[in-house]
Amino acid sequence: MSDWEPKIVSFLCNWCSYGAADLAGVSRMQYPPNIRVIRIPCAGRMSPKFALAALREGADAVWVSG
């Protein structure tokens, strides 16, 4: 299990967190490549169904930020 890497599906609000992730890139902040970003127009768009679907599809964690 030592080389196990989690898969994280993240739902980021277009206006804040997605932009923040952009800025993290611009600032060259390094972080592990385990997340896959899905851009949503607002954290309010997030539905529990998406979280459950991601977990069902095999994600180890779901991260909603907005």
Partner 1 sequence: MINFKLNGKKVQGEEGQYILQVAEKYDVEIPTLCHHKALEPAGMCRLCTVELFDGRRSRFVTACNYPIWKGMEVSTNTESVIQGRKLIVEMLLARCPEVPVIRKLADEYGIDQPRFKTEDDDCILCGLCTRICEKMGNSAITLTGRGIDMKVDTPFHIQTDVCLACGACASLCPTGHITLDRIKSLITKNENVKPIPSEYDMGLMGRKPVYVPYAQAVPNTPAIDRDFCVHFKTGGCQICTEFCGVDAIDHKMEDEIIELDVGSIILAPGFESFDPSKFDSYNYANHPNVITSMEMERILSASGPSEGHLVRQSDHKEPKKIAWFQCVGSRDMNRCDNSYCSSVCCMYAIKEAVIAKEHAGDDLDCTIFYMDMRTHGKDFERFYDNAKEQGIRFIRSRVHTIDPVSGSDDLSVRYVTEDGKLDTESFDMIVLSIGLQTSPETIELAGKLGVELTPGNFCKTDTFEPVETSKKGIYVCGAFQGPKDIPQSVVDASAAASAAGEILSEARNTKTKIAEVIPETNVIGDRPRIGVFVCRCGINIAGVVDVPSVAEYAAELPYVEYTTDNLYSCSQDTQETMTQIIKQKNLNRVVVAACTPKTHEPLFQETLINAGLNKYLFEMCNIRNHDSWVHKNDPDLATEKARDLVRMAVSKVALMQPLKEAELEVNQTAIVIGGGISGMTSARSLANQGFETHLIEKGNQLGGQAVNIFKTAAGDDVQKKLNALVKEVDNNKKINVHLNSEITQVEGFVGNFKSTLKADDKEETIEYGIAVIATGASSYKPTEYSYGKDQRILTSLELDRKFIEKDKSLKNISSAVFIQCVGSREPDRPYCSRVCCTHSIDNALELKKMNPDMNIYILYRDIRTYGEREYIYREAREKGIIFIRYSLDQKPELSLNKDRIIINATDHILGRPVEIEADLVTLASAIIPNKGEALARFFKVPINDDGFFVEKHAKLGPSEFATDGVFLCGLAHYPKPIDESVSQGRAAASRAVTLLARKNIFTSGTIAATAPMHCSSCGVCVSICPYSAPSFTEEGPFTGKAEINPLLCKGCGLCVASCRSGAIHLNGFDNDQIFEQIFNVM
Partner 2 sequence: MLGYIDKIKKISKRLLQESRVDMVIGFRKGTMPMMNEPCFIKNPDDVDTLVWDSHCGINLANYLTNRKEKIGIIAKGCDSRNIVTHIIENKISRDQLVIIGVPCKGMVDKRKVSSKIEEEIQDTSEKDSQIIVKTRAGETALDKAEVLQDNCLTCIHRNPAIYDELAADLVEEQKDIDRYEDTHTIEAMSSEEKWKYFEDLLAPCIRCYACKNACPLCYCPTCFVDESKPQWVGKSQDTTDIRTFHFLRAFHCAGRCTDCGACERACPVGINMRVFTKKLEKDCLDQFGWEAGLSLDDRPPLDTYRPDDPENFIK
* Angle 54-4-22 from CA coordinates, rounded to 5°: 55
Closest CA to 39 of 60, 57, 58, 21: 21
Selection from partner 1, partner 2, none that 29 binds (CB < 5 to 8 A by kind) is partner 1
Q: How many CA atoms lie within 13 A of 2 on its CB side?
A: 0
Nearer to partner 2, 34 or 47 (CB): 47
Min dist CB 24 to partner 2, Å, is 18
Rule CB under 8 A: which residues touch partner 1?
7, 9, 14, 18-19, 21-33, 36-42, 44-47, 49-50, 53-54, 57-59
